Amino acid sequence: MNKREKYIPDLRELHSLAEKNYAGLARIVPRGNNERVIQVGEHSQFFLSVKNEAAYTTDIQIKQSFNTDNVPLVVPVEFIARLYHDAKMAEIIDCQGATALTSIRPGKAPKRAQEKDEKRQLSRLLSDWLRLCSQQGRIAVSIS
């Protein structure tokens, strides 16, 4: 019988990514009920809006749209990131409509999740997205 190797997440890496992601998101989070628009490249925009704000957390919805029909094969990115203000960490809690992002426990993952390290991959996605925005993004005027 073939035994699976037990997956042990690297908590240092996860926490480090979460702290860096918090620092990056905290700089671009829209204030109040405003929406922030970040233009990346000629045809791609990201819309950021506060979905939920509590004493210790803020949920930010990030939606991508394209202002051209020349990218029909690209699925726009949409995710919700939660900022934990007391811990100064951030993570993706919803990606493309999938909310059960707990696949660090084998056997508990939804059928759609094939990777043991989904949390790490999503943290890296958020980190890469923040890097893209800081290197190539232009923040538009807030919409009230």
Kindly indicate the confidence band of residue 87, based on its pLDDT and cuts at 50, 70 and 90: very high
Q: pTM score, two decimals? A: 0.79
Statement: residue 139 has pLDDT above 90: no
- Sequence-ordered strand ranges (E) for the chain: 35-40, 44-53, 57-66, 78-84, 89-95, 137-139
Statement: residue 135 has pLDDT above 70: yes
Q: Region 2-19: what's the mean pLDDT?
A: 84
Statement: residue 109 has pLDDT above 50: no
The Cα 19–Cα 25 span in angstroms is: 10
Which sequence spans correspond to the domains of the chain?
34-100+117-131
Statement: residue 106 has pLDDT above 50: no
- Mean of the per-residue pLDDT values for the chain? 81
The DSSP secondary structure of 74-113, one letter per residue, reads: PPPPEEEEEEETTTTEEEEEEETTB----TTSTTSS-TT-
Q: Name, of 9-18, 37-46, 73-82, 135-144, the range with top average pLDDT.
A: 9-18
